Chain A
Amino acid sequence: MLRLGLLLVFLVLLLAGCGGGGSVSQKDVQKQFEAIQSLAAEGALVADGAADGRSTDVFVRVHSGYLNCAADKVATNLSSARASGAADRERERAASLATHVADRLGTLSDEPGDTAGARRIAAELRADAALAKRLAG
């Protein structure tokens, strides 16, 4: 029974995607840049909808909130991780970029009705996505 309980706890933790930190390789950092690109590009689409009045405030608030959490998680994981040499500089850069993306998505989530702000955030997130794509190689 105890073994079953432990197995269930393990499965729940696994499914919840717990963990983070530790050592990361160059390939791991590249993967994180790809994740940042994805979140920024999607965030830009959400912001476009808000800027043009072609979405709902609720959707913009909730969905950019989820994207914000995901970007924040990437930033936290990268910040708490360690790598060696050039990979560590890349890691720091990725962590910084993820933090910027998370901040912009957080602002969009907090002020979904601000069309001018959404237009600015869309442009910024598009630039972030382009930078992340370049750095991912």
Chain B
Amino acid sequence: MTKVFQIALGILAAIGGFVDIGDLVFNVEAGATLGYQLLWVIVVGVVGIIVYSEMCGRVAAVSKRPVFDAIRERLGFGVGFGALVASQIVNLMTLAAEVGGVALALELLSGLSYRVLIVLGVSALGVVIWVTPFEWIERIFGYGGLALLVFVVAAIKLHPDWGEVARGFVPHGTSSDKLVYAYFAVGLLGAAMTPYEVYFYSSGVVEEGWTAKDLGLNRANAIIGYSLGGTLSLALMIGAAALYQPLGVEPAFIGTVALGAQVPLGTIGLLLALVGILFAVGGAAIDTCFSGAYNMAQFFGWEWGKQRRPAGAPRFTLAWIVLLVLALLVIMTGVDPVLVTEYAVIFSVVALPLTYIPILLVANDRAYMGRYVNGRVANVFGFVYLVVILLVSITAIPLMIVTHQGQG
């Protein structure tokens, strides 16, 4: 039972990070627009985030240095500060989108006013973060988000064309609009490897006090957690391809995601989907909120950590409170959370190299890592993914502009 609880960090990182509002939106949009053609991208993204999460978890467990420590040291103050600003902007956009997603899920469950629910949702998140121990946050949101497994059942019940599903795992572009195909591929990779996942994960490893003895647990967390997240992403895309593509539905609402479970499974499917979305998006809001505060604290050398009481890490505590309030203000302007999500995902792609290059460098530094330095397999995967990350970071914004965010 202890082991089951110990993989909660990976499950929260995966549910809150891999199946956050960005993935819910991008996977369903990609399935509705391009059918099963981009299933392979999810697999590529899952392997990438497993490789880098394992690496940054290992670095954190062995050297006690989370990602932003490494970024500042390896990139220097100037470039590191640039990375901090870029990551904080993306974090804030993502947090605002997640807060909006929480309010939308609550609205679809309760029927109360969206704006009232934004305030209630943010207040509830603030209270949860303040009073709940780190490990219980992981458990509540990680395991609550497992209700999203309803989308796996829904995808099967929608009777997809399994031959086409199988073909979707092999890269092939039958889409007439290659740029739209490329835009969604880049967006899906960005959503899968979004930087805050590794900020949160590596800091969580330090919070939980993992050491070199826990490297097996670290690997299990990365593999099980993100594979689970990937399975949910595949289910969302397959369900959208089976249900929405033939009807010409262009998903633009969180409710459309939940409808994908309601149509095949009825009321119980709908309720499980909405509860799953609420926990996943709520977990992601906490991930991003903490990530922003971790980044600031680690960069400027403040005391940090949820495990310390607020009085023990006052500037860290102030940082997450300020981030939460800023997100509240952004979303209260009336911006569409789904649209904010799409921008956040694409902008996060641009920031990917600044996050992943320092991880790879530190993981190869024997002075820090000793005998736990990267092996040949980790390096091959690490360098291949670095090339992929560089390519997608260069192409993300041009593709967003020329395809009008995938509208063609």
Q: Are the CB atoms of A35 and B250 closer together than 8 Å? A: yes
Q: Which of B107-115, B132-140, B175-183, B376-384 contacts A (4 or more CB under 8 A)?
A: B107-115
Scoring B residues 266 to 303 as 1 if CB is less than 8 Å from chain A, else 0, what string do you get?
11001100100000000000000000000000000000
Q: Are the CB atoms of A54 and B335 closer together than 8 Å? A: no
Q: Known contacts A41-B249, A63-B255; is A58 also within 8 Å of B339 by CB?
A: no
B110, B252, B270, B335: the one within 8 Å of A12 (CB): B335
Q: Are the CB atoms of B336 and A17 closer together than 8 Å? A: yes
Q: Known contacts A41-B248, A58-B108; is A66 also within 8 Å of B253 by CB?
A: yes
Q: Known contacts A55-B270, A58-B109; is A45 also within 8 Å of B248 by CB?
A: no
A-B contacts at CB below 8 angstroms, number: 81
Enumerate chain A residues within 8 angstroms of B399, measured Cβ to Cβ: none
Distance of A52 Cα from B264 Cα, bound (Å): 12
Cβ of A26 < 8 Å from any Cβ of B?
A: no
Q: Are the CB atoms of B255 and A49 closer together than 8 Å? A: no
Chain A min CB distance to B188 (Å): 21
A37, A48, A56: the one within 8 Å of B248 (CB): A37
B248, B252, B333: the one within 8 Å of A133 (CB): B248
Nearest to B268 among chain A residues (CB) is A54
A46, A54, A129: the one within 8 Å of B247 (CB): A129
Q: Are the CB atoms of B262 and A61 closer together than 8 Å? A: no
Chain B min CB distance to A18 (Å): 10
Chain A min CB distance to B48 (Å): 28
Interface size on B, residues (CB 8 A): 32
Cβ of B304 < 8 Å from any Cβ of A?
A: no
Enumerate chain A residues within 8 angstroms of B335, measured Cβ to Cβ: 12, 15-16
Distance of A63 Cα from B261 Cα, bound (Å): 14
Chain A min CB distance to B339 (Å): 5
Cβ of B76 < 8 Å from any Cβ of A?
A: no
Q: Are the CB atoms of A34 and B250 closer together than 8 Å? A: yes
Q: Which of A56, A61, A67 has the most CB of B within 10 A?
A: A56
Q: Are the CB atoms of B250 and A38 closer together than 8 Å? A: yes
Nearest to B265 among chain A residues (CB) is A54
B248, B255, B263: the one within 8 Å of A66 (CB): B255
Q: Are the CB atoms of A70 and B252 closer together than 8 Å? A: yes
Enumerate chain A residues within 8 angstroms of B307, measured Cβ to Cβ: none
Chain B min CB distance to A39 (Å): 8
Scoring A residues 1 to 45 as 1 if CB is less than 8 Å from chain B, else 0, what string do you get?
000000000001001110000000000000100110110011001
Enumerate chain A residues within 8 angstroms of B407, measured Cβ to Cβ: 31
Q: Are the CB atoms of B248 and A55 closer together than 8 Å? A: no
Enumerate chain B residues within 8 angstroms of A129, measured Cβ to Cβ: 247-248
Nearest to A15 among chain B residues (CB) is B335
Cβ of B237 < 8 Å from any Cβ of A?
A: no
Cβ of B343 < 8 Å from any Cβ of A?
A: yes
Q: Are the CB atoms of A38 and B249 closer together than 8 Å? A: yes
Q: Are the CB atoms of B249 and A42 closer together than 8 Å? A: yes
Scoring B residues 326 to 355 as 1 if CB is less than 8 Å from chain A, else 0, what string do you get?
000000011110011001000000000000
Q: Are the CB atoms of B111 and A61 closer together than 8 Å? A: yes
Chain A min CB distance to B303 (Å): 31
Enumerate chain B residues within 8 angstroms of A123, measured Cβ to Cβ: none
Q: Which of A42, A46, A48, A49 has the most CB of B within 10 A?
A: A42
Cβ of B259 < 8 Å from any Cβ of A?
A: yes
A17, A59, A61, A66: the one within 8 Å of B270 (CB): A59
Cβ of B258 < 8 Å from any Cβ of A?
A: yes
Cβ of A62 < 8 Å from any Cβ of B?
A: yes
Q: Known contacts A31-B407, A58-B111; is A42 also within 8 Å of B256 by CB?
A: yes
Q: Which of A12, A48, A63 has the most CB of B within 10 A?
A: A63
Chain A min CB distance to B115 (Å): 14
Q: Which of B249, B253, B335 has the most CB of A within 10 A?
A: B249
Enumerate chain B residues within 8 angstroms of A133, measured Cβ to Cβ: 248
Nearest to B330 among chain A residues (CB) is A12
Q: Are the CB atoms of B262 and A54 closer together than 8 Å? A: yes
Enumerate chain B residues within 8 angstroms of A15, measured Cβ to Cβ: 335-336, 339-340, 343
Scoring B residues 165 to 189 as 1 if CB is less than 8 Å from chain A, else 0, what string do you get?
0000000000000000000000000
Enumerate chain A residues within 8 angstroms of B248, measured Cβ to Cβ: 34, 37-38, 41, 129, 133
Distance of A66 Cα from B249 Cα, bound (Å): 15
Distance of A35 Cα from B255 Cα, bound (Å): 17
Distance of A35 Cα from B249 Cα, bound (Å): 8
Distance of A42 Cα from B253 Cα, bound (Å): 11
Could you jot down 28 A-B contacts, CB within 8 Å?
A: A12-B333, A15-B339, A16-B333, A16-B336, A17-B336, A34-B248, A38-B250, A41-B249, A42-B247, A45-B243, A45-B247, A45-B249, A48-B263, A49-B266, A54-B267, A55-B266, A58-B108, A58-B111, A59-B108, A59-B258, A59-B270, A62-B255, A63-B108, A63-B255, A63-B258, A63-B259, A129-B248, A133-B248
Given contacts A17-B336, A55-B262, A56-B271, 5 further A-B contacts (CB under 8 A): A49-B262, A49-B270, A54-B262, A55-B270, A58-B109
Shortest 5 CB-CB contacts between residues of A and residues of B: A63-B255, A54-B266, A58-B111, A41-B247, A38-B250
